[in-house]
A and B are shown apart, each in its own frame.
Chain A
Amino acid sequence: MVDVDLVLFLVLSSVEVGAAYLVIASRRLVHSVFWLFVTLITIGGIYILLRSEFVGLIQLVVYAGAVPVLFLFGIMLTRRKIMEEPHEAK
């Protein structure tokens, strides 16, 4: 019989590690923020997998819901050329 928890943990953690790598590897900052969002959501999933649902949901509310938006606002409000950036990055 397959250990469902182990399979879910492996899927979630591999997505998380891959997304965490892409956070630093992406050339565009908005992509980095998106992968950060994916990382934070999968961390919430791992919390729920560890049977601590409350911490997992708080992780989703606070980190996945608010922190990436904060980063995006920070990027968009402090960089003057946010629209042109993708073309320069190529």
Chain B
Amino acid sequence: MSGHLIDLHYYVESVLSFLLGFGRDQLHGIGTASPAPLGGPLYGLGDLLGAEWLLVLLTWLLVVTVMVMWGTAVNLLVMMWIERKFYSRLHDRVGIKIGLPSMGFLATIPLLGGLFKNFVKRPSHLGTGFLQNVADGVKLVQKENLTPKSADAFTFHVAPVLIATSSLLVFAAIPFSEGFAVMRQVDLAGNSTNPLGILFILAAFGLAPIGILIAGWSSNNKYTLIGGMRSAAMLMSYEIPIILCIIAVVILTGSLDPFEIVRQQTVSLGEAVPALSLLPPTSSAPLYIPNWFIFPQIIGFIVFFVAILAEQERIPFDLPEAEAELVEGWLTEYSGMRFGLVFGFKWLRALAGSSLLVILYLGGWTGPAIGTGLSIGQVGVFFPPQELWFMLKVYGVFLVWVWISWTFPRIRIDQILHIGWKKLIPLSLVTILLAIAMRGLGVYA
């Protein structure tokens, strides 16, 4: 068992209540010391800072902000970096190298400059390449936002917002550990719950196709229109196997709660499947295999894996933006940071999709950990913490996706429909049948 390191609401609320309480005390002090016409309002302002509703409101705003920054500013960059470095290695080259050593100005910092004195000549071959994506982002911000003359300006400007917000909305419900989540309640037993979390993730996932379709239409360009239609058709049709696979897992667990789904994956496989205990014991110490749902739901795992791969418009399924046929598909006409929004959304969806995959099938944030004896709040600190396990699994899944997408060629439009409607959907129905059989026959307790 392992414990979580980050308790998002608790941390934010502690810091905020300290700051607000400090401000209130200061204002109260100034208010009582000030002369009559000024003192009363200042004292009242102090009361406002100490109000409970302000603390609750600011806590929620900050929690959401932290989660959005964690999704975009940290994980978006990390995933782009992983992808670019890894496919460069697959191409037998080193790949991007812009990193700290490329920043020659670091050597001119007065006191710490000595640490970076090798950076003066900008030896860019020493860098890891992490700052390349930051540089690309800065470049995109500097570029002009062009609106094509014949484009439908209103929907052209609304569509990227729609796409980006619906992708960020997913992170409201995705927990990164038992404490690191926006939507989270603690029940009487001290467990985290979010009774409709999986449904919320599905709802937020399903809002993107209309944004893409509107983006493709409003650019008033035949490539974007074709790309938008292809993308919406693909996203809609591959959402069905995703939902069906999730239904199978929900039937097995009896819950739409991501925390509960992960919790049920921590028991050992021998406990979960009573028939396994009837087998003769092979050794004195039973091997602990966690009850990850990849074992009873291996077909569902494969279907979900492929369908989520298609949901991100990754290369075997990148028909909506097939460069050779459609320039860049539905995002051809976008420029500047608006292009960055609609281009980066793929990695956000990749992060959300691999998090969902890990939660549903790979045991979420559970993993072996050693207690350190320390504790923050009432929660013991373990090493490695749950967040580390979760991110390791998420990046591992993402690496396999990158591997697949830079190995296989693009499939045709008829093959997309063939795979989606004739293979994945029947297979996902089979997984539902299997799940019902396991529950109904008591194979799976």
Interface residues of A (CB under 8 A from B): 28, 30-31, 33-34, 37, 41, 53-54, 57-58, 60-61, 64-66, 68-69, 72-73, 76, 82-83, 86-87
Q: Could you tell me the distance between the alpha carbons of A58 and B199 in the complex, rounded to whole angstroms?
A: 8
When distances are taken between beta carbons in the complex, the residues of chain A under 8 Å from B206 are 60-61, 64-66
B305 close to A (CB within 8 Å)? no
Given the interface contacts A30-B155, A34-B158, does A68 sit within 8 Å of B210 by beta carbon?
A: yes
When distances are taken between beta carbons in the complex, the residues of chain A under 8 Å from B154 are 31
Q: Could you tell me the distance between the alpha carbons of A69 and B228 in the complex, rounded to whole angstroms?
A: 11
B273 close to A (CB within 8 Å)? no
Q: Tell me if A's interface is mostly helix, strand, loop or mixed.
A: helix
When distances are taken between beta carbons in the complex, the residues of chain B under 8 Å from A86 are 150, 152, 220
Please tell me which one of the listed residues B207, B225, B233 contacts residue A60 in the complex, with CB atoms under 8 A apart.
B207
Please tell me which one of the listed residues B214, B222, B233 contacts residue A83 in the complex, with CB atoms under 8 A apart.
B222
Q: Could you tell me the distance between the alpha carbons of A61 and B207 in the complex, rounded to whole angstroms?
A: 8
Q: Could you tell me the distance between the alpha carbons of A68 and B213 in the complex, rounded to whole angstroms?
A: 10
B379 close to A (CB within 8 Å)? no
When distances are taken between beta carbons in the complex, the residues of chain A under 8 Å from B214 are 30, 33-34, 72
User: What's the minimum C-beta distance from A74 to chain B, rounded to whole angstroms?
Assistant: 12
Query: Which of B207, B222, B239 counts the most A-chain CB atoms under 10 A from its CB?
Result: B207
B200 and chain A: residue at smallest CB distance:
A57
B202 close to A (CB within 8 Å)? yes
B77 close to A (CB within 8 Å)? no
B267 close to A (CB within 8 Å)? no
Please tell me which one of the listed residues B203, B232, B239 contacts residue A57 in the complex, with CB atoms under 8 A apart.
B203
Task: Check B210–A69 contact: CB distance below 8 A.
Answer: yes
Q: Could you tell me the distance between the alpha carbons of A37 and B207 in the complex, rounded to whole angstroms?
A: 9
Q: Could you tell me the distance between the alpha carbons of A41 and B210 in the complex, rounded to whole angstroms?
A: 12
Q: Mind listing 21 A-B residue pairs with CB under 8 Å? A: A28-B152, A30-B217, A30-B218, A31-B154, A34-B155, A37-B210, A41-B207, A54-B196, A57-B199, A57-B200, A60-B206, A61-B202, A64-B206, A65-B239, A68-B210, A69-B209, A72-B210, A73-B229, A76-B229, A83-B222, A83-B225
Convert B157-182 into 0s and 1s, putting 1 for each residue whose CB lies closer than 8 angstroms to a CB of A: 01000000000000000000000000
B103 close to A (CB within 8 Å)? no
A67 and chain B: residue at smallest CB distance:
B210
User: What's the minimum C-beta distance from A37 to chain B, rounded to whole angstroms?
Assistant: 6
Convert B215-247 into 0s and 1s, putting 1 for each residue whose CB lies closer than 8 angstroms to a CB of A: 001101010010001001100100100000000
Given the interface contacts A30-B214, A34-B214, A69-B209, does A61 sit within 8 Å of B203 by beta carbon?
A: yes
User: What's the minimum C-beta distance from B274 to chain A, rounded to whole angstroms?
Assistant: 32
Q: Could you tell me the distance between the alpha carbons of A34 and B152 in the complex, rounded to whole angstroms?
A: 13
When distances are taken between beta carbons in the complex, the residues of chain B under 8 Å from A66 are 206, 236
Please tell me which one of the listed residues B199, B213, B217, B218 contacts residue A61 in the complex, with CB atoms under 8 A apart.
B199
When distances are taken between beta carbons in the complex, the residues of chain A under 8 Å from B158 are 34
Q: Could you tell me the distance between the alpha carbons of A32 and B372 in the complex, rounded to whole angstroms?
A: 59
When distances are taken between beta carbons in the complex, the residues of chain B under 8 Å from A87 are 150
When distances are taken between beta carbons in the complex, the residues of chain B under 8 Å from A34 are 155, 158, 210, 214
The 5 closest A-B pairs by CB, nearest first: A65-B206, A60-B203, A57-B199, A61-B203, A68-B210
